Structure 1
Amino acid sequence: MSYGKSTKKRSTMAKLQSVLDGENYLGIRGEVEGEFIQPPFKTRLRELFRQIEKEFDILYAENLSLQEKIDTLNEKIERESFISDKPGYDSTDFDNVAKTVKAKLGNTSSQKLKTAHKLKAQTSKIVSSFKGPNTQCSMIREYIGHKDGVWEVSVSRSEQPVIGTASADHTACIWSTDSARCLLQYQGHNGSVNSLRFHPNKDLVLTSSGDCTAHLWQAAVNWDIPKGHSSEEELEYGEEIDEKFDRVETLRTPIMEFGAHSGAIAAADFLAGAEQVITASWDRLAMLHDVETGLALNTLGGHDLELTDLSTHSAQKMAVTCSRDTTFRLWDFREPAFPVSVFQGHTESVTSAVFTSEDKVISGSDDRSVKVWDLRNMRSPLATIRTDSAVNRLAVSDTGIIAIPHDNRQIRLFDLSGQRLARLPRTSRQGHRRMVASVAWANGHNTITNLYSCGFDRRVLGWSVHPYKEKDT
């Protein structure tokens, strides 16, 4: 705000104080005696309050304008950083090419022509590598209702168009992806709900919580929900949202409870075949449970610090557990001895690790890096992605696009080779306003909205991420 506006605001406040002083003498004193504030002072007060409101409106507009400029500058810095970080090319490439041409100038004209063609080809290759992201990203819907930060968002593995969310407000919710309505709210936990995973082929949901338990519950909801209102309409009428959310069907009793841990459970997931579930806890242990009886079948130890996340393979009986001890472990339940492989490469807490459809593992860490590993070679990663913020629960699509949520409110997209594809937009009207905790791809769902994210701004967002269509030339 400029000095002139600041002086004007102080002058307005001084006038208000003088009027209030007069009101204290003439108004409040008169009110004690059964009288009211004199009409001239009422009029003057209203005028001053209008001036103050106008000043705040101007300040708010200036802040929005500054925020837009900051976002534009950040995108420019990212593009410049993207160009400078390109593998295989640096600023000396042009010099090297020029030197090569200069050294061959003394040859015959035919040799000069060949060199010129070579220079053109190399220059075109370098320039083409500088092209920006070729992925189109836009926010489609917003899912509103949680009263605290949202730890995780998951997409149903069946064909039902629903997503699930786990929140620090002690609840888990099932949402319609089309209408953005909450269909069911689970209230069975006594602590923060840290993860939510869907059964591969039944209407069952597995949640884990800070109350040291994991719950299996029935997601029996009414699918015939009208699509009358969009999320934008719900944003405009906040009170109406609260009333609709209060009328949502609730569930408090689980089908099965898994409670063998002595610490908060960070995550729980179904093993392939869905006959067992595996849980990962702050007590440094992972446990394998039987779904039918709820009994713990095996205790999986080895991590030196608290476990932060776990993920299971979609087709094979394998799981990865992540820990604050800077490692993640691959457990193979296909053999009786449960062999384990330890992946070392991060320097801080490993916050996420997921399987890909190509038998690779993607790991993310608080050390601001994401690494791509081959299951057959755990000594060194195939690719390393460097970022400018800590990484949270990431996800990889069937087509090999890695979505990376960050502490700095950003979501970035990369391919499996470490090539940057895009950054999801974040402005005053779209994107997260606080830490992004989790992302999830809608693999196999035929819908425009194919990526979901959640964060500690209590927002759950649906995104459309698709490659740009090449224009006909």
Structure 2
Amino acid sequence: MKSDFKFSNLLGTVYRQGNLVYTNDGTTILSPVGNRVSVFDLINNKSFTLNYEHRKNISCIALNKQGTLLLSVDEDGRAILVNFKARTVLHHFNFKESVRALEFSPDGTHFAVAAGRFIQVWKTPDMAEDRQFAPFVRHRVYAGHYSDLTSVTWSGDSKYLLSTSKDMTARIYSLYTEDKEVKMTLAGHRDYVIKAFFDKDQEIIYTLSKDGALFRWEYTERPGEEEIAADEKHMSWRIISKNFFMSEAKLKCATFHAESNLLIVGFTNGEFRLYELPSFTMLQNLSMGSNAVNTIAVNSTGEWIAFGSRKLGQLLVYEWKSESYILKQQGHFDAMNCLTYSPDGSRIVTASDDGKIKIWDVVSGFCLATFEEHQSAVTAVAFAKRGQVMFSSSLDGTVRAWDLIRYRNFRTFTSTERIQFSCLAVDPSGEIVCAGSLDDFKIQVWSVQTAQLLDQLAGHEGPVSCLSFGTEGSPSLASASWDKTIRIWDIFGRSQTSEPFNVISECLSLAMRPDSKEVAASTLDGQILFWDIENAKQVRQIDGKRDITKGRYLEDRFTAANSARGKHFSTITYSFDGLSLVAAGNNNSICLYDLPNEVLLRRFTVSQNMQLNGTLQFLNSKNMTEAGALDLIDDDGELSDFEERRRLDAALPGSNRGDISSRATRPEIRVSSVGFSPTANAFACASTEGLLIYSIDDAFIFDPFDLDVDVTPEATLGILQEGDYLTSLVMSFRLNERYLIHKVYETIKFEDIPLVSKDLPVVYVEKLLTFIGSIAMESQHIEFNLTWVSNLLTHHGKYITRNKHIYSSALRSIQRFLNRVAKDVVKANFKNENLFDFFMVASSSKALQFSSFNNDEDDDDDEEEEEANGNDDDEEGWFGPGQVKKMTGTFENDSSDSEMDDE
């Protein structure tokens, strides 16, 4: 069992807070998700999450125009500089103040930071310059505002800065000292100035305030000085026009596309509008819900507009010209309770306290469907082993069956009494579904076909906490209860009696090994017990207390080492080979165990976010006061903006749950469910931060060709002429030029195909199969293409089998090509069967004279004979002797055909 799992993606949430950023090509959008950054590729329908973490939630991000450097800043002002192409962290920096806005200059040489009431301009680290000891070199600090800044914007030529503030003014600054007379204050608004923009020609400035006012400023002379000489006029920025949005809600955010003069504004009631400036003509007026629009971004072409809503964690990408949504995603409103993989491992189903069930695509990271039929929290989900059928249990007293082909609920199971179901299990055949409850001590058994209650298994003396079926072997049902027993039931037997396995403490989680011969149970005292089902005896025991990384809560007056909280596992699961087990619980640890040796292989940290309870380790006495923890005291003041205040105590007294998307309360770090992928190369964890995916990613293996930076078409053709086919093939894929790939592909000699296929890195296997599938339908080299496909599948078949979801498109094109070849061969053989017999007899007869075919009369006779035999030369599909031999024999080369023709 491999243990080199790494964090690969974060699903279940798409936006938390902060600003959205497009790449320069406008096809990819970056979204801050808690203390991480997720990247959504809108063209290829894929997403990934960068591996690094902040210590607190991210407040703003920025990407330079070249798309190479990403800068993200958390709520405390700590910044991380990332190489966006390589996805590696370059530098950590602390601005020592909360940052409200961050933006790179259009030329990429500087970036501006709105920290407090000052603008800090820093030089962008550049490899072309002399390498310095400190990557961040401050260019200048601009002061002048009397309150906190709300935004900072660069001009198109990267020479000027435009800032807005809560002091109801906007100010203009110059990047260079010699233009200090440019500095000017734009006043006149009656509320916070949210945003300010330059137009395309930098001759007009637009400012927007929170009360819905839009001012247009132009650089003109003072009124009444029209007749004064030009050198004596007093030029300044003046208000030319005032427009108002006339909305009952407050203006929340705005963005401006200078190339098309398109203004997009969002309000606190979820409404967003599109205006054309300077005429102030409203183009569209739509709404994304009843919650505030927190951020807006527009791509470089001005076609796609991205909206983010913090309350529900919504992310929308809207194409305003066609009035359609490119992307519409939303995470769970509340914490996830459970998860399960589909039988093929391509999808993950999650359920939450909000009563919703969401289906996530593993590859793209997007939500495919959402089910909202349940009226209360969903407690468990499970797949049938065969077919696209899923089951869910809920506290609303129902168990539902879902058809994932038509995406509908086709069965609803209920008990004779109104009870809340807390656990669920589906038998391997998919004919029986069982559910347990914390209200009743019985296990309900239904038939999936008839939806009738078949039986109620009685025997437990406490609430049933978990159920589990094996995936193979005998259909035995294992159940665990708070009565400190584990029971094994034969649901198809005549007797309901079962012998209990007694444990020391209450059972929290249960898992049956796939071969149905062993069951594992996690108990409240931190132990994991393993029982042999056939012999009814305990075979091993793992003490999990020593492997758990505990954390202290913010209000705790002791360190994590002295905390008794969370020293147990609340969810466990077997790997599909039964040799490993993953365990997690109400703590910051995910433990991977090797069962034959009973050792801990890996321990993963769920999150480093200090805004979650349970991530801190040590007690810092300076953060504690007589009134409690310093972070729990609201020190923003009564005169601060009510919408931006940190309402730390928004929940009812004694309530443990809050709005996880807006972080109104401080949630606890925990893992509610874990699940292994059927492909055995990944596992998922439903945590407070979202759905964490850990995988063994074979795609990111070491590629020695990445060390060579001189990859050009000329170099590729030169290496191809030298006979280094593997290197030239890889270089052509690196350049991604179709004509070059085609030339290298067909230049490779037939006898070298097995060697090149064997040594080809797996990174390029999918690309090569896709390319073969794209050209094979029109290509004349049937045997050549078939040999490539055969060798690639032979040498890389295991990897392709483990990653079917990656190769599905390429394999479909290859299958289409093979079907076409088989069809043509059968058709040609059927048409030319008699002709083939004739040539075989003729070639063995020495008396046959080929010269007789030149006689006109004999030609007519031959034509009549061929027509009588159904073999017409003019008929489509006629083959010569060499071609017939190639199609029916061993596909010889062209030289053998020419020799037969000479005979």
TM-score interval w.r.t. the shorter chain?
0.5 to 0.7
Question: Counterpart of 1:340 in 2: which secondary structure?
Answer: coil
What residue is the counterpart of 2:691 in the other structure?
460
Given residue 254 of structure 1, which amino acid in structure 2 is its aligned partner?
N
Counterpart pick for 2:572 among 382, 387, 394: 394
What residue is the counterpart of 1:155 in the other structure?
341
Task: Point out the structure with max Rg over C-alpha.
Answer: 2
Q: Deviations over 1:424-460 (max 9, x none)?
A: 2344379997110111001236xx5x101102x1511
**Aligned counterparts, 1:187-266, within 5 A:** 187-220=372-405, 254-260=409-415, 261-266=417-422
Mapped to 2, the partners of 1:353 and 1:144 lie a distance apart of: 31
Deviation at 1:46, TM superposition (A): 4.4
Deviation at 1:393, TM superposition (A): 2.0
CA distance 1:327–1:206, change in 2 (3 Å):
same
Mapped to 2, the partners of 1:465 and 1:422 lie a distance apart of: 13
Q: Deviations over 1:348-369 (max 9, x none)?
A: 2433233343711111122211
Given residue 281 of structure 1, which amino acid in structure 2 is its aligned partner?
S
Q: Does 1:372 align with 2:474?
A: no
Given residue 677 of structure 2, which amino acid in structure 1 is its aligned partner?
A
Q: Does 1:270 align with 2:450?
A: no
Given residue 410 of structure 2, which amino acid in structure 1 is its aligned partner?
I
Q: Does 1:172 align with 2:172?
A: no
Mapped to 2, the partners of 1:401 and 1:145 lie a distance apart of: 30
CA distance 1:296–1:169, change in 2 (3 Å):
same
Question: Counterpart of 1:44 in 2: which secondary structure?
Answer: coil
Mapped to 2, the partners of 1:220 and 1:438 lie a distance apart of: 25
Q: Deviations over 1:136-180 (max 9, x none)?
A: xxxxxxx971111111110111x2611111111101111101011
What residue is the counterpart of 2:447 in the other structure?
290
CA distance 1:352–1:210, change in 2 (3 Å):
same
Mapped to 1, the partners of 2:358 and 2:464 lie a distance apart of: 24
What residue is the counterpart of 2:146 in the other structure?
44
Question: Counterpart of 2:538 in 1: which secondary structure?
Answer: coil
Given residue 690 of structure 2, which amino acid in structure 1 is its aligned partner?
R
Q: Does 1:145 align with 2:303?
A: no
Deviation at 1:307, TM superposition (A): 1.2
What residue is the counterpart of 1:422 in the other structure?
602
Task: Assess if the C-alpha contact under 8 Å between 1:290 and 1:297 holds in 2.
Answer: yes
Q: Does 1:441 align with 2:676?
A: yes
Q: Deviations over 1:110-145 (max 9, x none)?
A: xxxxxxxxxxxxxxxxxxxxxxxxxxxxxxxxx971
Given residue 346 of structure 1, which amino acid in structure 2 is its aligned partner?
I
Task: Assess if the C-alpha contact under 8 Å between 1:390 and 1:406 holds in 2.
Answer: yes
Q: Does 1:321 align with 2:506?
A: no
Q: Deviations over 1:325-347 (max 9, x none)?
A: 22221111242214423111231
Q: Deviations over 1:393-452 (max 9, x none)?
A: 21110231100012112110112242111112344379997110111001236xx5x101
TM-score scaled to structure 2, two decimals? 0.32
Given residue 334 of structure 2, which amino acid in structure 1 is its aligned partner?
D
**Aligned counterparts, 1:56-205, within 5 A:** 145-157=331-343, 159=344, 161-205=346-390
What is the percent sequence identity of the aligned residues? Answer: 21
Mapped to 1, the partners of 2:506 and 2:512 lie a distance apart of: 18
Deviation at 1:192, TM superposition (A): 0.4
What residue is the counterpart of 1:411 in the other structure?
590
Mapped to 2, the partners of 1:426 and 1:265 lie a distance apart of: 28
Question: Counterpart of 1:185 in 2: which secondary structure?
Answer: strand
Mapped to 1, the partners of 2:445 and 2:392 lie a distance apart of: 15
CA distance 1:194–1:184, change in 2 (3 Å):
same
Deviation at 1:203, TM superposition (A): 1.2
Task: Assess if the C-alpha contact under 8 Å between 1:307 and 1:322 holds in 2.
Answer: yes
CA distance 1:160–1:398, change in 2 (3 Å):
closer
Deviation at 1:212, TM superposition (A): 1.1
Given residue 279 of structure 1, which amino acid in structure 2 is its aligned partner?
A
Given residue 670 of structure 2, which amino acid in structure 1 is its aligned partner?
M
Shifted more, 355-364 versus 163-172: the winner is 355-364
Question: Counterpart of 1:293 in 2: which secondary structure?
Answer: coil
Mapped to 2, the partners of 1:144 and 1:404 lie a distance apart of: 28
Task: Assess if the C-alpha contact under 8 Å between 1:329 and 1:341 holds in 2.
Answer: yes
Mapped to 2, the partners of 1:465 and 1:441 lie a distance apart of: 12
Q: Deviations over 1:49-84 (max 9, x none)?
A: 99xx9xxxxxxxxxxxxxxxxxxxxxxxxxxxxxxx
Task: Assess if the C-alpha contact under 8 Å between 1:369 and 1:386 holds in 2.
Answer: yes
CA distance 1:153–1:331, change in 2 (3 Å):
same
Question: Counterpart of 1:394 in 2: which secondary structure?
Answer: strand
What residue is the counterpart of 1:347 in the other structure?
505
Q: Which has the higher contact order (CA 8 A, sep 6+)?
A: 1
Task: Assess if the C-alpha contact under 8 Å between 1:170 and 1:189 holds in 2.
Answer: yes
Mapped to 1, the partners of 2:534 and 2:432 lie a distance apart of: 25
Mapped to 2, the partners of 1:343 and 1:197 lie a distance apart of: 25
Task: Assess if the C-alpha contact under 8 Å between 1:152 and 1:166 holds in 2.
Answer: yes
Mapped to 1, the partners of 2:608 and 2:345 lie a distance apart of: 32
Deviation at 1:379, TM superposition (A): 4.1
Q: Does 1:451 align with 2:683?
A: yes
Question: Counterpart of 2:678 in 1: which secondary structure?
Answer: coil
What residue is the counterpart of 1:301 in the other structure?
458
TM-score scaled to structure 1, two decimals? 0.59
RMSD after superposition: 3.4
CA distance 1:343–1:356, change in 2 (3 Å):
farther
Task: Assess if the C-alpha contact under 8 Å between 1:280 and 1:310 holds in 2.
Answer: yes
What residue is the counterpart of 2:521 in the other structure?
363
Mapped to 1, the partners of 2:357 and 2:516 lie a distance apart of: 31
Question: Counterpart of 2:374 in 1: which secondary structure?
Answer: coil
Mapped to 1, the partners of 2:394 and 2:450 lie a distance apart of: 20
Task: Assess if the C-alpha contact under 8 Å between 2:445 and 2:456 holds in 1.
Answer: yes
Counterpart pick for 1:280 among 436, 448, 454: 436
Task: Assess if the C-alpha contact under 8 Å between 1:328 and 1:353 holds in 2.
Answer: no
Question: Counterpart of 2:571 in 1: which secondary structure?
Answer: coil
Mapped to 2, the partners of 1:311 and 1:203 lie a distance apart of: 20
CA distance 1:349–1:372, change in 2 (3 Å):
closer
Question: Counterpart of 2:419 in 1: which secondary structure?
Answer: coil
Given residue 371 of structure 2, which amino acid in structure 1 is its aligned partner?
Y
